[in-house]
């Protein structure tokens, strides 16, 4: 799942912490100051100076960045239109990564990792404006196409629903009747569970293996029922409509092994069914956000355990 970090820092002047960042070293130190333990090894760099693990691909990636005039290691913008400056940062964090640090006011900052796929070393972000929104054109090359130097993919991302997801200029509204989400095991301790929610917000949760709130916390197992909180339910419905789920692919898969898979099944518009199988759980940015929400439901609702018969 995607790692997002939340922090609070004290400020001593009228400008925000991000507004005061002018140099690469200041930006790098700012990220480390948010979480030194996890980001101590982060080094800032523009794309032109980053050496990726796929040497043959380096020049190609740099040519894309040059053609878009993406020559700096950080760019400032207001991605959520809250009047506060956010910052997009490029660099090495164990591998090539792009981060966005959001300023939500009252000295609260949040780090989002934009590069979500392992081995996605060739990524170029371009900040654009459209319909009074600040968006990111996200150019990338999937690993299966490394030898095809003409193959480049572009997604336009927007900060919405608390994360960066694919921009949809004209969202549709569907009558969603039931949501079913289930996960598989993986080579490790991936949580196996399924959650079903109907359009009256009634939900069931079957915790099968490795479901725990904290890494070393108590495992939860069994069948539970609840009524999903209205705010959480509406957020799920709005997100599903925004990502236009009926027009997504039926199958997604990462190109490595031993990962977790999931199946999302949506019943809508008088019995129509959309089923999405996703090996790796990162088929799209929007789906990845939805999966994070479904994982969170296991612990942020008032579940009542069913008595065993």
Cα separation, 287 vs 166, whole angstroms: 10
Cβ–Cβ < 8 Å for 213, 203: no
Using the predicted structure, report yes or no on whether residue 287 has a pLDDT greater than 70: yes
Q: What number of residues does the chain have?
A: 309
140-144, 219-223, 231-235: least confident range: 140-144
Cβ–Cβ < 8 Å for 274, 217: no
Following CA atoms 182, 187, 191, 192 in sequence, which dihedral angle do they give, to the nearest 10 degrees? 40
Using the predicted structure, report yes or no on whether residue 238 has a pLDDT greater than 80: yes
Cβ–Cβ < 8 Å for 181, 236: no
Using the predicted structure, report yes or no on whether residue 235 has a pLDDT greater than 70: yes
Q: What is the pLDDT of residues 70-125, one digit of tens each?
A: 999 999 999 999 999 999 999 988 888 999 999 999 889 999 999 876 556 678 99
Q: Are strands 272-279 and 251-253 parallel, antiparallel or unpaired?
A: parallel
Q: How many CA atoms lie within 13 A of 215 on its CB side?
A: 1
Closest alpha carbon to 308 in 200, 199, 206, 187? 206
Q: Work out the percent of the chain whose per-residue pLDDT is above 70.
A: 88
Please determine, looking at this structure, whether the domain spanning 176-305 carries the CATH number 3.30.1560.10.
Answer: yes
Q: What is the DSSP string of the chain?
A: ---EEEEE----SSS-TTTT--SHHHHHHHHHHH-HHHHTT-EE--GGG---S-HHHHHHHHHHHHHTT--SSEEEE-TT-SSS-EEEEEEESSSEEEEEEEE-STTEEEEEE---STT---EEEEEEEETTEEEEEEEE--GGGTT-TT--EEEEEEEETTEEEE--SS-----EEEEEEEE---SS---EEEEEEETT-EEEEEEEEEE-SSTTS--EEEEEEEE--HHHHHHHHHHHHHTTGGGS-SEEE-SSSS--EEEEEEEETTTEEEEEEEESS-SSHHHHHHHHHHHHHHHHS--EEPPP-
Using the predicted structure, report yes or no on whether residue 11 has a pLDDT greater than 80: no
Q: How far is CA 58 from CA 50, 69, 116, 120, 141, in A?
A: 8, 16, 19, 12, 12
Cα separation, 258 vs 263, whole angstroms: 16
Cα separation, 278 vs 249, whole angstroms: 10
φ and ψ at 275, to 5 degrees? -120, 130
Q: Identify the pLDDT of residue 16.
A: 81
Q: What is the pLDDT of residues 12-38, one digit of tens each?
A: 444 689 999 999 999 999 999 998 888
Domain ranges for the chain: 4-166, 176-305
**What is the pLDDT averaged over residues 147-155?**
71
Cα separation, 33 vs 8, whole angstroms: 11
**Greater confidence, 199 or 14?**
199
């Amino acid at each position: 799942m995607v790692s997002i970090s939340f922090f609070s820092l004290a400020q001593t002047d009228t400008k925000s912490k991000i507004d005061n960042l002018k140099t690469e070293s200041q930006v790098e130190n700012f990220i480390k100051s948010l979480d030194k333990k996890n980001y101590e090894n982060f080094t800032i760099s523009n794309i032109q100076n980053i050496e990726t693990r796929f040497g043959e691909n380096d020049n190609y990636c740099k040519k894309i960045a040059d053609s878009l005039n993406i020559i700096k290691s950080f760019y400032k913008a207001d991605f959520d239109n809250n009047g506060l400056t956010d910052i997009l940062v490029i660099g090495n964090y164990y591998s090539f990564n792009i981060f966005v640090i959001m300023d939500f006011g009252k000295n609260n900052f949040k780090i989002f990792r934009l590069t979500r796929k392992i081995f996605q070393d060739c990524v170029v972000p371009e900040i654009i404006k459209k319909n009074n929104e600040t968006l990111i054109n996200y150019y990338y090359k999937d690993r299966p196409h490394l030898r095809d130097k003409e193959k480049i993919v572009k997604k336009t991302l927007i900060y919405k629903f608390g994360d960066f997801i694919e921009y949809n200029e004209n969202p549709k509204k569907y009558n969603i009747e039931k949501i079913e989400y289930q996960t598989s095991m993986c080579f490790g301790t991936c949580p196996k569970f399924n959650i079903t929610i109907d359009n009256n917000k009634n939900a069931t949760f079957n915790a099968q293996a490795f479901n725990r709130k904290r890494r070393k916390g108590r495992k939860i197992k069994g069948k539970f029922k609840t009524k999903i909180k209205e705010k959480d339910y509406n957020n799920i419905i709005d997100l599903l409509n925004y990502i236009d789920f009926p027009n997504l692919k039926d199958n997604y898969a990462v190109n490595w092994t031993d990962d977790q898979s999931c199946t999302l099944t949506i019943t809508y518009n008088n019995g129509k069914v959309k089923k999405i199988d996703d090996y790796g759980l990162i088929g799209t940015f929007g789906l990845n956000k939805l999966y994070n929400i479904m994982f969170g439901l296991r612990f942020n609702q008032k579940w009542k355990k069913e008595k065993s018969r």
